Amino acid sequence: MGNDPVYGQTAFELGGILAEYEIELIYGGAQVGLMGKVADGAISKNGKVTGIIPDFLKTKEIEHNGLSELILVQTMHERKALMQEKSDAFIALPGGFGTMEELFEILTWGQLDLHRKPIGILNVNGYYDALIALVESMISAGLLKDEYKKMLLISDSIEDLLSQMNLYEVPFTTKWDGSKVF
């Protein structure tokens, strides 16, 4: 949950707001960490919450028991692919390696035109400021086109981020034809 209570509070609030807007939460299915708090927030407002969890994590008893639906898969790869398929948009909260890996994978899939869905960062207490600076550095070094940065919607406000996501249009014309590469 991190060492700042605002992370958990914001995660819970995000879940509640998603439920109020009747936006189904599709997430990793755990009861722990910030993702568990998002689910708790949505459930507290009678929101629809679908968890997708690999069997090996379920056996460690970290699955959330209050979900509308829990889908079991075999691998983390299956989990991420199914979450991408079932989701209309993506929001990253503060997190560790798993969050970063999933964020960059979904950004890469968007860059390759495997999806055209909005990707948001909820920049709680400036948590992602260093990552935003890294993206700027990638652009300055000529390793990332500026138009790809525009795929990343960033705000420290839940309402503002959801508004940006609602208005999202893919910010580039792709050289890819949209066919699956894997």
Convert the pLDDT of each residue in 154-165 to its tens digit: 999 999 999 999
Q: Which of 31-35, 37-41, 48-52, 88-92 has the lowest mean pLDDT?
A: 31-35
Give CA angle at 75 (63, 78), nearest 5°.
Answer: 100
Residue 144 has pLDDT above 90, yes or no: yes
Q: Which two tokens stand for residue 136?
A: 């700027």
pLDDT value of residue 178: 53
47 band by pLDDT with thresholds 50, 70 and 90: very high
CA-CA distance, 171 to 146, in Å (whole number)? 10
Query: Which of 181, 153, 148, 182 minimizes the C-alpha distance to 167?
Result: 153
CA-CA distance, 86 to 106, in Å (whole number)? 13
Condensed to tens digits (0 to 9), the pLDDT of residues 65-108 reads 899 999 999 999 999 999 999 999 999 999 999 999 999 999 99
Query: Which of 18, 35, 42 minimizes the C-alpha distance to 95?
Result: 35
For each of the domains in the chain, give its residue range(s) and CATH number, in order of start.
Answer: 1-87 (3.40.50.450), 88-166 (3.40.50.450)
Q: What value does the mean pLDDT of the chain take?
A: 93
Based on DSSP, count helices (H) and strands (E) in the chain, helices before strands.
8, 6
Condensed to tens digits (0 to 9), the pLDDT of residues 100-136 reads 999 999 999 999 989 999 999 999 999 999 999 999 9
Q: Where are the alpha helices (DSSP H) in the chain?
A: 5-20, 33-44, 55-58, 76-86, 97-111, 129-140, 146-149, 158-166
With 0-12 CB in 10 A as exposed, 13-18 as middle and 19+ as buried, what is 157? exposed
Query: Which of 67, 9, 17, 7 minimizes the C-alpha distance to 39?
Result: 67
pLDDT value of residue 182: 39
